[in-house]
Structure 1
C-alpha cells in the first residue's frame, strides 16, 4: 500500500473463543461444574460462532459429547491465552461484540474446574433455555454484489495472486451503505477482499489494461489512485454495521471494483475456483456520510529472529475535527499486536486500538462510542511483529528479514478507519 492522503479520501491502498459464573475455588466445588449447568452458556456464546456447524473453526463445541471429548484440548488453549484468539482490548476503547472475544479470569477458572472434574455433562434438566449460537451475519441486506463469473485461482511462485473484477452496479438512485457482509466462496485461498469505487470509471488502466476489461490481474499498485475504499475483508472478520444515521455514499453508474488477494502456501497444489462477493444493507438517506482511509508505516525491515520488532507512523489532522467510528487493524502473518491512538502535545492520549493481533481472526472494531480526532492532533499507529523461529505463523526456516509488501509472506501495518467530519 502506498501511504494514503486523507481528505477528501481517494483511498490509495493496497475470534473467537470461548458470560460466565464465578469459578469454584476448591476441589469439592469443582466436581459440581458441568457442561449443562455451567459450561454450555459460555461455550455457545463465546465459542459457537466458530466452533459449530458451518463455522471456520474445527469441531462442534456446542454438541455436549464433542465438547466433553475435547475438553482437555479446549482448556489447554484457553489457559495458554490462545483461545479466544488475540483481539483488541476493550478497556482501550470498547467495541461491538467485545464480550464474545474475551474470557474473564473467572471463566478461565471455570474451564479448569470442569476439566479437573473430568468434564462431566451433568443433568440435562439444568440446561439454560433459549441458548443459540450468535448469528453474526446481516439478515436484512438488500443488495448483492457477485462477480459475473467464477475465477480459477492460480498463484505464482511467490504463492500470491491479485485479481480484480468490475461488478455490476445495480443502483438506480443514490444509496447509503449502512452495513456490509461478505459471502466467501473459497476460504482456503482468499487472503483479503477490497471493495472500492473507481471514480474514473476505467478500472484496470493503471494495471496496463485499456480500462474496459471486466476482470484483470492487479498486483501492482495495490489499488489505483482514483479508487475510494468502501470496505476491506480479511479472515475472521464479521459483518460491519454503522451507527444509526451514518453510511457510505454510492451513486448509480459508479464503477464498483472488487479486488481479491489469493494466497496458497503450496503453489503446486490446485487451489480451486472462487466467486466470493458482498451483501450490502442500504438506505436512501443518512445524516452523516462516512468514508474510509488508513494510516501506517511502509518503511520497515523486520529483523530475522526478532520476537518483538515494532514500527510506527502518524498522520496529523489538518482538516477539522473528525469522528472515528471504527478501525480495522491489518497486518500479515507475523503480526503480533497493534495499537492506535490520538495524541496532541500537552493533552491526554485517546486510545483507539490496543491488544493482540492474529492473522486468522481479523476484525473491524466498530466503537460503541465514536472517538473525536481533533484538528491539529495526530492519529498514531504502531505495529509489533514476531519474526522468531517460534512465531506461530513463521513461514521462513530459518527466519529471514521481512519488509513491507502486499504478499502474505511480506508485511503490512495499517489501521484502516471509518470516519466523518465532526459537527
Structure 2
C-alpha cells in the first residue's frame, strides 16, 4: 500500500500515540481545589468514613473521586486546554455533568465520545497478546465502580479539608543525544470562518550525511489550542513535499496530498510525545523531510497557529531499528483490489453493519527476525471496529489487536510495554488480516455529525479513498529488528 494522506482527511489519534494519553505540563500533587465540603450544586454532604454499624462507606468527591479524575482526566480537561471543551478541575461542573460523564466512564455510550478516557483497544479473551500497553488509559474496574457508586449516592462532596492526595501524570520529555526543534508552521484563519480546515507543512531536516540519521522520539509542540484539533506526523523520504524553492513551508501538491509518506505519529492536544524504547530508533536517510498534516477546528474568530515539532536524535546506530509498515487500503484504486475478502469494497447507504477484511502478505529476509512493537489502526467517520489477526503459513492464526468500539475523534497508536524478546514475532510469510467494520446509516452518530456539519442530507455509497466521506482500512505496524548494518525501511513492501 502506498499511503497518500490528504490534509483534507480529519484524523485524530496518535502518537504514535493519536492520540491519546493526555499529558500535563508537569506532575502535580495536592489536596484539590473548589467546593467547601457542603452540599452545593447537587452534592450532598456525607460521612466519608465507615460507621461502627458496619454500613458500606459512601464515596465522596474529595476523598475518593477527585484522585481518579485528577489522574485520568485533568491532563486534558484543565483550564489551559481549550480544545478539551470543559474543565474537570471545577468540582461544580463535574457534579453538573456527573451523569453524562458516567455514561462515558462506564460506557461505551451510544454518542461520541463513546468512552472516556479514550482507549479503543480492549482485547477479548481470544484476542489478547498478554502484554501491557504503554500509557494505558483504561480505568480500573474498581475506579469505574467508585464513580458509579458516587453517582448513586447523589455526588456527595465530602470534606475538602481532609481531601485525599492526588497526582497528575507528568508529560514525558524527549531525551537522546540531542533534541532539535523545527521552525514553526504558519496557519491563519479569519473572522467568520467555522468548521474544519487543514494545513500541510514540510520541513527540511538538513540530513546530509550519507549514512542518514537516527530518530528516537517525536514531540508536537502545539501552539494555538483554541483551534488545533490534531496532527499527523510523517517522514517523506522522497522529498516530494518540498515547497517550491526548497526549505520549510506549505506542501505544494494539489489537495495537500502527501505522496508515499510514512506515518510516524499522531497527536492531539495533551498527547504524550512519541518516545521509542531505549535502544530503538527510526532511520532517516539523507534528504528526509518531516511533514505534518494538521486539522484545525475553526471558531469564527481570526486565529494564528505557529506549532513546532521536536525530534530527538541518536549519534550512533541503535541496537534495534524501528520500521513503520503501512498496511491496508487507503487509495481510491484499492476499492476493487483482490486483497479484499469481499471484492469490491462498497458500503451502501443504510448498511449499519458492513464488515470486510483486507489481507497484506509480509516477507523479509529469512535471516532477519522482526517483532511487532506497536499498531496504529486508522479509519474514517463510518468506521465502528477493527480486529487484526496474524495468519501463519501453517494455517494457524493469532489475533493480536482488537478495537471493538472505534472512535474517529480519538485514534491512537498502541505500544506494547515489553522487552524486545517478549514482543509478538512477525514471521517472514505471515499475513496481516485487517478486519474493518462500518455503519453507513443515521444510527452512526459520528457519521451523522459529519454529514450535518457539511450540509449533506442524503447518505451516499462509500468506497475506499482519500476524501473525508471515503473510507480507509489502514493499519500502521511498527516493527523492530536487531540492526546489523542493513537498513530495513522498505521491509514491508
TM-score range, shorter chain: 0.7 to 0.9
- In structure 2, what is the Cα distance between the partners aligned to 1:358 and 1:246? 30
Q: Post-superposition shift, 1:420? A: 2.6
User: Is the counterpart of residue 354 in structure 1 residue 400 in structure 2?
Assistant: no
1:388 aligned residue: 441
- Whose relative contact order is higher, 1 or 2, with alpha carbons under 8 Å and at least 6 apart? 2
Cα contact 1:145–1:168 (8 A) shared by 2: no
Following superposition of structure 1 onto structure 2, how do residues 143-154 of structure 1 map, counting pairs within 5 Å? 143-147=179-183, 150-152=186-188
1:336 aligned residue: 384
1:138 aligned residue: 173
Q: Post-superposition shift, 1:309? A: 1.7
- In structure 2, what is the Cα distance between the partners aligned to 1:236 and 1:400? 35
User: Is the counterpart of residue 185 in structure 1 residue 245 in structure 2?
Assistant: no
Q: Post-superposition shift, 1:367? A: 1.0
- In structure 2, what is the Cα distance between the partners aligned to 1:99 and 1:30? 30
In structure 2, the gaps of 5 or more residues are: 7-19, 23-49, 109-113, 336-344, 452-456, 484-493
Q: Post-superposition shift, 1:47? A: 1.9
Aligned residues: 395
The change in CA–CA distance for 1:146 and 1:213 in structure 2 (over 3 A counts) is closer
**Structure 1 SS opposite 2:84:** coil
TM-score with structure 2 setting the length: 0.69
2:320 aligned residue: 288
**Structure 2 SS opposite 1:196:** strand
**Structure 2 SS opposite 1:402:** coil
The change in CA–CA distance for 1:359 and 1:65 in structure 2 (over 3 A counts) is same
User: Is the counterpart of residue 83 in structure 1 residue 106 in structure 2?
Assistant: no
Q: Post-superposition shift, 1:303? A: 2.0
Cα contact 1:296–1:314 (8 A) shared by 2: yes
TM-score with structure 1 setting the length: 0.79
**Structure 1 SS opposite 2:329:** coil
Cα contact 2:234–2:290 (8 A) shared by 1: yes
1:20 aligned residue: none
The change in CA–CA distance for 1:248 and 1:99 in structure 2 (over 3 A counts) is closer
2:153 aligned residue: 117
**Structure 2 SS opposite 1:414:** strand
- In structure 2, what is the Cα distance between the partners aligned to 1:51 and 1:29? 34
- In structure 1, what is the Cα distance between the partners aligned to 2:402 and 2:145? 27
- In structure 1, what is the Cα distance between the partners aligned to 2:208 and 2:63? 51
Question: Which of 269-278 and 387-396 deviates more?
Answer: 269-278
Spell out, residue by residue over 1:29-63, the C-alpha distance to the aligned partner (whole angstroms, 9 max, x if none). 56721112221222112222222233442333234
1:311 aligned residue: 356
Cα contact 1:238–1:364 (8 A) shared by 2: no
1:7 aligned residue: none
- In structure 1, what is the Cα distance between the partners aligned to 2:143 and 2:321? 41
**Structure 1 SS opposite 2:425:** strand
User: Is the counterpart of residue 257 in structure 1 residue 290 in structure 2?
Assistant: yes
The change in CA–CA distance for 1:316 and 1:364 in structure 2 (over 3 A counts) is same
**Structure 2 SS opposite 1:217:** coil
**Structure 2 SS opposite 1:302:** coil
**Structure 2 SS opposite 1:108:** helix
**Structure 2 SS opposite 1:40:** helix
Cα contact 1:318–1:376 (8 A) shared by 2: yes
**Structure 1 SS opposite 2:424:** strand
In structure 1, the gaps of 5 or more residues are: 5-10, 18-23
Q: Post-superposition shift, 1:254? A: 2.4
1:33 aligned residue: 59
- In structure 2, what is the Cα distance between the partners aligned to 1:378 and 1:182? 33
Q: Post-superposition shift, 1:360? A: 1.4
The change in CA–CA distance for 1:54 and 1:375 in structure 2 (over 3 A counts) is same
User: Is the counterpart of residue 100 in structure 1 residue 137 in structure 2?
Assistant: yes
1:322 to 365, 370, 381: 370
Question: Which of 187-196 and 174-183 deviates more?
Answer: 187-196
Q: Post-superposition shift, 1:389? A: 0.6
- In structure 1, what is the Cα distance between the partners aligned to 2:478 and 2:397? 22
2:431 aligned residue: 378
Q: Post-superposition shift, 1:218? A: 2.9
The change in CA–CA distance for 1:374 and 1:261 in structure 2 (over 3 A counts) is same
User: Is the counterpart of residue 415 in structure 1 residue 475 in structure 2?
Assistant: yes
C-alpha RMSD over aligned residues: 3.6
